[in-house]
C-alpha cells in the first residue's frame, strides 16, 4: 500500500449514520473537553476510545525532547490504535485543540462492537493497523530510545526483545550516532552505563532484563486467578492458532510465551508457502495479525512468561512459571516448538549476539550492512536468510556440509540463491574456529573434500543448522520419543500414564487433557501451515474433553 492510501485507511472519516450507529451500539457518553485537556495519555492502559463530534483532538508524542503533534482528528474521526485490542499502554497522547465534543467509549464496549458490527469493525481495525505502520515509519515519532553499542550482546538482546514484541523504538548506536554523547550527558550517564532504555525525559533503565523491561514498559500482563478452560504454552503459529480458535469459540484461554509471540516463524523475513499470501509475508506480520485476532476474541496473552514445570491436581494441570507464579488449566496445549541448534565451534558461544546470530531479521541485518556475512546451513531457513541478507550485506557466503544445495532446500529458493550475484555457495565446507576480540572479526573455514583451510573476514555468522524440541521442562507423564518430541495419539492408550477409559485423541499426549501441536509434536510436518492447522485442530479435541469434565 502506498503512503497516500495508507493515510486514508489510517484516518477515515465516519459519516453521521456510522457515528450514530457506533455511539449507540457502544453506549457511548457524549463529553466536552476544554482546550488543552488530555483525553488519554501515553502509558495509559485499557484506555477509552473517542469519536469526534465537533472540534479537534491532537495526537501528540511526548517521548522525544520536545512534544510533537503527529496528527489531528476532526469531526467523524476517531482516536486509538492496536493498543485498544492488546491492552498494552498507549504510546501517544490525545489532547483537545480548542473545545471539543467527543463520544467516549470504554475499551470493553469497543471490543464488543468490533465483534458485533462487522462493517464498522473493518474500518476501525484497518485504521488501527495502518496507524501502527505509519508510526513505525514516521521520522517525527521517537518512542522508546535504546542507546547501546552494536558490539554489545546486551544491546542486541534488548533490541531483539523489543522488536520481536513489536514495541516501537529507536536504536542509537554508541559507535556511530552523533546524538549519543549529548543524550547520555542529559541523563547523567556515560557510555559504560549502556545499554540504556529511555522514554522521554523519565529516568532511563540500565541494562534491564527482558522481564524488567517488559514490566517497565507495560507489556507484561499478569494472569487472572481463575481456572482457564485452555492454557497454551508457546505463542508460535500453532499456539496462536489455538488461541484464536479457542477464544472465538468461547473458551477462557490464556497463552504463556517465553520471549515474544511469533515463534520461529517470527524470525522469517519472507514466508512464501503460506496459503493465501501469493506475495509472501514476514513472520512478524503474520504474528502481529494473529495477536490482534487473538486479542479481539479476548485471549489472555502473557509475555515474557517462561513455563518451567507442570504438575497435576486431579483432572487439572497446574502450570508453573519462572518466578513461582502458577495457573490452573482444565486443558493444556504444549506448543513450545523447537529451538535453534547451537553451532558448537570454538568461539561460537563467546560471540553469541556480537557476531553469531540464529535469526536474520532487520535487527541483525542493520549490524552487517555493507559487509561480508556467512550463512551456515542448507535448509529453507538458511536459504531465506541468505536471500534476505543479500539485500543488506555486500556479499553473502552460504556454507553447506554436503555438495548439493537442492537436497534439503525448496528448489525455488535454491534457484534464487544460484541466481543472486552477491551470494556465493561454499560446498563441503564447515567453520572450524571464530576469531575476534570484543566482537567477531573472522572465521576459519575448512573444505572437507580438499582439506583446504582459509580465513574469511566477517562481522556476522548466521546459523541455521536445525532445531531441537523445547521439551526439557516436561514431566515424565508426558511421553516423548528418542529425540525429545512429544508423542501423541491412539498408541498412547498403552502408556502407563494414560488414566482415561477412552482412547487418546489424535493430538493428545500420554496425560489425558494435555495436547501437543506444531513442531514440538513427534511426527509433525515442520511448516507454518501445518503448525497452524494442528493448533486449530487441537481446539476441537479440547471441546470434546471439556464435555466430560
Ligand atoms: C528462519 C526460519 C524461517 C522459516 N520459514 C518457513 C517458511 O517460509 N515456511 C514454512 O512453512 N515454515 C518455515 N519455517 C518453519 C516454521 O517457522 C515452523 O514450522 C513453525 O514456526 C512452528 O510453529 P510452532 O508454533 O509449532 O513452534 P515455534 O514457532 O517454535 O514456536 C514455539 C514458541 O514457544 C515458545 N516457548 C518455548 N518454550 C517455552 C516455555 N517453556 N514457556 C513458554 N514459551 C515457550 C517459544 O518462545 C516460541 O515462541 C521457518 C523457520 C525458521 C527458523
Q: In this predicted model, what pLDDT tens digit does every residue of 468-522 receive, in sequence order?
A: 999 999 999 999 999 999 999 999 999 999 999 999 999 999 999 999 999 999 9
pLDDT in tens, 415-456: 999 999 999 999 999 999 999 998 999 999 999 999 999 999
Higher pLDDT, 423 or 204: 423
- What pTM does this model have? 0.88
CA distance 202 to 186: 11
Mean pLDDT of 237-262: 97
Query: According to the model, what pLDDT value does residue 270 have?
Result: 84
What does the pLDDT average to over 332-360?
Answer: 92
Helix extents (H) in 41-152:
83-86, 107-116, 118-137
Residue 384 beta carbon below 6 angstroms from any ligand 1 atom: yes
Residue with the nearest Cα to atom 35 of ligand 1? 234
- Average pLDDT, integer, range 289-312: 93
Please tell me whether residue 506 adopts helix, strand or coil conformation. coil
- Look at residue 355 and tell me whether its pLDDT is greater than 80: yes
Taking the centre of ligand 1 as the mean of its atom positions, its distance from the CA of residue 464, in whole angstroms, is: 13
Mean pLDDT, rounded, of the chain: 93
- CB of 273 shorter than 6 A to ligand 1: yes
Whether residue 57 is predicted with pLDDT greater than 70 in this model: the reply is yes
- Mean pLDDT confidence for 314-322: 95
- In degrees rounded to 5, what are phi and psi of residue 346? -55, 125
Which pLDDT score is estimated for 400? 97
The residue-averaged pLDDT of 35-44 equals 94
Alpha carbon distance 452, 229 (integer Å): 59
Question: Greater confidence, 411 or 200?
Answer: 411
Taking the centre of ligand 1 as the mean of its atom positions, its distance from the CA of residue 337, in whole angstroms, is: 5
What three-state secondary structure class fits 39? strand
Residue 83 has what pLDDT? 87
Asked whether 387 lines ligand 1 (CB < 6 A), one says no
Could you check whether the bond before residue 304 is cis, i.e. omega within 30 degrees of 0?
yes
Does ligand 1 come within 6 angstroms of the Cβ of 290? no
Atom of ligand 1 nearest to the CA of 518: 26
**469/466 Cα distance (integer angstroms):** 10
For residues 162-179, give the mean pLDDT. Answer: 92
Q: Please state, in angstroms and rounded to a whole number, the distance separating the CA atoms of residues 40 and 94.
A: 5
Rounded to whole angstroms, the Cα distance separating 487 from 194 reads 45
User: Could you write out the DSSP letters of every residue in 381-393?
Assistant: HHHHHHHHHHTTS
In this predicted structure, what is the pLDDT of residue 138? 87
| pLDDT recorded at residue 1 | 65
Q: Which residues pair with 216 in a beta bridge?
A: none
**Which one, of 235, 290, 291, 288, lies nearest residue 264 by Cα?**
235
Contact between residue 225 and residue 214 where contact means Cβ atoms under 8 Å apart: no
111 Cα: distance to centroid of ligand 1 (angstroms): 29
Which pLDDT value is given to residue 108? 87
Residue-level pLDDT at 220? 86
474 lines ligand 1 (CB under 6 A): no
Average pLDDT over residues 302-327: 95
112 vs 253, which has greater pLDDT? 253
- Identify which of 536, 542, 486 has the alpha carbon closest to the alpha carbon of residue 513: 542
pLDDT in tens, 510-529: 999 999 999 999 999 989 99
In this prediction, residue 115 has a pLDDT band, given cuts at 50, 70 and 90, of: confident
Tens digits of residue pLDDT in 172-200: 999 999 999 999 998 999 999 999 999 87
Pure H helices in 169-272: 180-186, 210-217, 237-248
* CA–CA dist 148, 177 (Å, integer): 10
Task: Determine the 3-state secondary structure of 64 from DSSP.
Answer: coil
pLDDT of residue 128: 94
- pLDDT digits over 73-111, tens only? 999 999 999 888 887 889 999 999 999 999 999 988 998
Task: Quote the CA–CA distance of 471 and 468 in Å, as a whole number.
Answer: 9
**Cα-to-centroid distance, 300 and ligand 1 (Å):** 20
Q: In angstroms, rounded to a whole number, what is the distance separating the alpha carbons of residues 443 and 56?
A: 59
In 3D space, the residue among 516, 514, 523, 509 whose CA is nearest the CA of residue 537 turns out to be 516
Q: What is the pLDDT of residues 363-402, one digit of tens each?
A: 888 888 899 999 999 999 999 999 999 999 999 999 999 9
Residue 186 CA to ligand 1 centre (angstroms): 41
Amino acid at each position: 500500500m502506498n503512503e497516500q492510501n495508507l493515510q486514508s485507511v489510517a484516518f477515515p472519516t465516519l459519516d453521521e449514520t456510522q457515528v450514530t450507529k457506533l455511539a449507540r451500539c457502544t453506549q457511548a457518553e457524549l463529553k466536552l473537553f476544554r482546550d488543552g485537556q488530555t483525553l488519554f495519555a501515553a502509558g495509559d492502559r485499557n484506555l477509552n476510545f473517542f469519536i469526534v463530534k465537533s472540534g479537534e483532538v491532537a495526537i501528540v508524542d511526548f517521548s522525544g525532547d520536545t512534544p510533537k503533534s503527529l496528527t489531528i482528528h476532526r469531526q467523524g474521526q476517531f482516536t486509538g490504535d492496536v493498543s485498544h485490542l492488546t491492552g498494552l499502554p498507549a504510546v501517544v497522547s490525545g489532547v483537545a485543540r480548542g473545545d471539543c465534543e467527543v463520544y467516549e467509549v470504554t475499551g470493553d464496549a469497543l471490543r464488543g462492537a468490533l465483534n458485533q458490527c462487522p462493517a464498522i469493525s473493518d474500518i476501525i481495525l484497518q485504521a488501527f493497523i495502518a496507524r501502527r505502520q505509519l508510526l513505525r515509519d514516521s521520522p517525527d515519532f521517537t518512542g522508546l530510545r535504546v542507546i547501546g553499542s552494536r558490539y554489545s550482546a546486551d544491546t542486541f538482546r534488548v533490541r531483539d526483545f523489543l522488536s520481536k514484541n513489536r514495541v516501537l523504538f529507536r536504536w542509537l548506536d554508541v559507535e556511530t550516532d552523533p546524538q549519543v554523547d549529548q543524550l547520555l550527558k542529559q541523563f547523567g550517564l556515560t557510555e559504560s552505563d549502556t545499554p540504556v532504555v529511555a522514554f522521554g525525559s523519565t529516568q532511563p533503565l540500565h541494562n534491564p532484563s527482558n522481564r524488567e523491561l517488559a514490566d517497565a514498559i507495560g507489556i507484561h500482563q499478569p494472569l487472572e486467578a481463575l481456572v482457564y478452560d485452555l492454557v497454551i504454552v508457546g505463542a508460535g503459529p500453532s499456539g496462536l492458532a489455538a488461541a484464536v480458535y479457542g477464544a472465538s469459540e468461547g473458551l477462557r484461554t490464556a497463552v504463556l510465551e517465553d520471549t515474544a509471540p511469533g515463534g520461529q516463524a517470527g524470525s522469517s523475513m519472507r514466508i512464501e508457502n503460506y496459503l493465501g499470501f501469493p506475495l509472501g509475508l514476514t513472520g512478524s506480520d503474520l504474528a502481529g495479525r494473529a495477536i490482534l485476532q487473538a486479542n479481539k476474541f479476548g485471549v489472555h496473552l502473557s509475555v515474557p512468561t517462561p513455563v518451567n514445570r507442570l504438575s497435576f491436581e486431579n483432572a487439572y494441570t497446574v502450570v508453573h512459571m519462572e518466578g513461582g507464579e502458577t495457573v490452573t488449566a482444565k486443558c493444556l496445549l504444549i506448543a513450545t516448538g523447537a529451538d535453534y541448534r547451537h553451532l558448537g565451534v570454538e568461539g561460537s558461544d563467546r560471540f553469541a549476539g556480537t557476531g553469531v546470530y540464529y535469526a536474520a531479521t532487520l535487527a541483525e541485518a542493520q549490524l552487517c550492512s555493507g559487509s561480508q556475512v556467512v550463512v551456515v546451513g542448507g535448509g529453507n531457513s538458511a536459504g531465506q536468510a541468505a536471500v534476505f541478507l543479500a539485500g543488506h550485506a555486500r556479499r553473502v557466503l552460504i556454507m553447506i556440509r554436503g555438495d548439493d544445495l537442492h537436497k534439503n532446500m525448496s528448489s525455488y529458493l535454491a534457484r534464487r540463491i544460484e541466481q543472486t550475484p552477491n551470494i556465493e555457495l561454499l560446498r563441503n565446507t564447515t567453520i572450524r574456529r571464530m576469531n575476534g576480540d570484543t566482537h567477531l572479526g573472522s572465521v576459519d573455514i575448512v573444505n572437507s573434500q580438499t582439506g583446504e583451510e582459509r580465513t574469511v573476514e566477517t562481522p556476522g555468522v548466521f546459523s541455521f543448522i536445525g532445531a531441537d524440541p523445547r521439551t526439557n521442562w516436561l514431566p515424565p507423564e508426558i511421553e516423548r520419543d528418542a529425540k525429545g518430541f512429544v508423542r501423541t495419539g491412539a498408541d498412547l492408550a498403552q502408556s502407563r500414564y494414560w488414566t482415561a477409559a477412552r482412547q487418546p485423541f489424535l493430538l493428545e499426549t500420554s496425560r489425558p487433557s494435555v495436547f501437543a501441536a506444531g513442531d514440538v509434536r513427534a511426527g509433525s510436518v515442520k511448516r507454518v501451515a501445518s503448525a497452524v492447522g494442528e493448533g486449530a485442530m487441537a481446539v476441537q479435541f479440547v471441546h470434546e474433553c471439556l464435555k466430560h469434565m
